[in-house]
Amino acid sequence: MRSTICFTALFLLLTGCQKPDIPASTTCTWIPDPSYVDHPQAGKYQSIVDQYVALGLPGISLYIQSPEGEWAGSAGLADIENGIAFQPCTVSKVASITKMIVGTLTMLLVEDGKLDLDAPIDPFLPSVVLDKVANAKGATIRQLMSHTTGIYDIIADKSFYLSVLNDPDKHWDAIDLIAFAYNEDANFPLGTSCRYSNTNTLLLSMVIEKATNKTHQQQVRNRILSPLGMDDTYYYSHDILPPHTAQGYFDLYNNGTIANVTNFNTGSGNGYGGMFSTVIDIATFIRALIVDQTILKPESLAAMQQFVPEVDPGDPAPDLFLGAGMMKRYFNQPLDSDNYGIGHTGRDLAYSANCFYFPEHQTICTFIVNYGTNGKSGLREVFYDFQDAVTDAIVK
């Protein structure tokens, strides 16, 4: 997900009063590959991770595969309250990286002839959704995937967050979530611009299920996760999370004191977010998708990589380009350079993640941080600096 959240005192009154759906973390057994120590940049990568944990990020795991070899490392805590170390085997929320996985499933269904990228979504959605969600009527699957519908983002809706606060552990259904977009104005006329909206992938999950008469989560598991051996990847709230799942944190007061907000469910499991994974597993996914190209046909992958610049008044930095279920990002690198990554970011209330391939440098970079960067806080800038430091280490 991606949005800027302003929290009220109501949030603070409600935290700690709910029975947790995700319990305290336990440790996992991490046995690094002996070759990791031979990577020529191993010391640099570990020092970056250590530096940004020292600056306040709770826990970080980082994975790199470059022409020099593979490396994985970590620092900090998966569970501050219980002193559990964050490791590369720690399962943590990867948030909107879910969108790239669901987008890949969509392209598989296009290859099967079950979906048509340029067909309207109208036959697959209830009439109430078509009537009450501006720009839904007449929108195509390609437009949903590339965020060119202009459809209102439910994650930007204050009443949605009030509902999350009042029932943090609620397991949301798609039809309940889409109601937060009812009677809201579109951001722009259909197909005339590009702006990231979680509602697009929410609708996409509904389209997939209607078109196939199967749940999208079952198809993700059967067609992507299981064939790739992604056994440490879970789709909450459909899957039960393992004991070694990281807690998630956020600086509620913006005063440098972080709180455990693991159990505030922002609609997980409905296409736009909810995947929990490890840096190793999400690297396995992007390697198969983009590097080895063993999941999709070349023309399908090419369709996902038809990037257009995002236009967002709230985020004027022109470093984000959106494709059909995929992103192209420069991460503070010059836009006239080849120093960009292809993949997807993940941002949520209590967790952050990146899953990218840098083609010019033939490098996969995945990381997970158990701190939320959707809301404003001092640590959000620390996170961005960490992201830039990792990118700099790859491209320079």
Tell me: the pLDDT tens digits for 281-334?
999 999 999 999 999 999 999 999 999 999 988 776 789 999 999 999 999 999
Measured in degrees and rounded to the nearest 5, phi and psi for residue 70 equal: -110, 150
DSSP 276-290: EE-HHHHHHHHIIII
Q: Mean pLDDT across the stretch 189-198?
A: 97
81, pLDDT greater than 90: yes
3-state DSSP: the chain helix, strand, coil percent, rounded to 5?
Answer: 35, 20, 45
Q: Mean pLDDT across the stretch 263-276?
A: 96
Do residues 190 and 40 touch, judged by C-beta distance below 8 A?
no
Question: By mean pLDDT, which of 21-25, 187-191, 268-272 is the weakest?
Answer: 21-25
345, pLDDT greater than 50: yes
Q: Tell me the C-alpha distance between 301 and 117, whole Å.
A: 13
Q: Tell me the C-alpha distance between 266 and 78, whole Å.
A: 20
Question: By mean pLDDT, which of 77-86, 172-181, 254-263 is the weakest?
Answer: 254-263
Q: Tell me the C-alpha distance between 33 and 65, whole Å.
A: 13
21, pLDDT greater than 60: yes
What is the chain's Cα-based Rg?
Answer: 20
15, pLDDT greater than 60: no
Q: Give 141-155 pLDDT, tens digit per residue.
A: 999 999 999 999 999
Q: Mean pLDDT across the stretch 230-259?
A: 94
CATH homologous superfamily of 22-395:
DD-peptidase/beta-lactamase superfamily (3.40.710.10)
How would you classify the pairing of strands 327-329 and 352-358?
A: unpaired
How would you classify the pairing of strands 92-95 and 275-277?
A: antiparallel
Which residue reads 């038809």 in tokens? 306
pLDDT at 316: 67
Q: Residue 19: pLDDT band by 50, 70, 90 thresholds?
A: low
Q: Give 31-41 pLDDT, tens digit per residue.
A: 999 999 999 99
Helix ranges, 137-247 (H): 141-146, 158-166, 174-178, 198-212, 216-220
DSSP run (H or E) holding 131: helix 127-132
DSSP run (H or E) holding 275: strand 275-277
Q: Mean pLDDT across the stretch 187-206?
A: 98
Helix axes 42-54, 378-395, angle to 10 degrees: 170
Up-side HSE of residue 184: CA atoms within 13 Å toward CB?
20
If one compares 80 and 156, the residue with the highest pLDDT of the two is 80
Q: Tell me the C-alpha distance between 29 and 378, whole Å.
A: 32
45, pLDDT greater than 90: yes
If we measure between CA atoms, which residue out of 280, 240, 246, 230 comes closest to residue 101?
A: 230
pLDDT at 16: 43
Q: Residue 17: pLDDT band by 50, 70, 90 thresholds?
A: very low
pLDDT at 13: 40
Q: Give 50-80 pLDDT, tens digit per residue.
A: 999 999 999 999 999 999 999 999 999 999 9
pLDDT at 352: 98
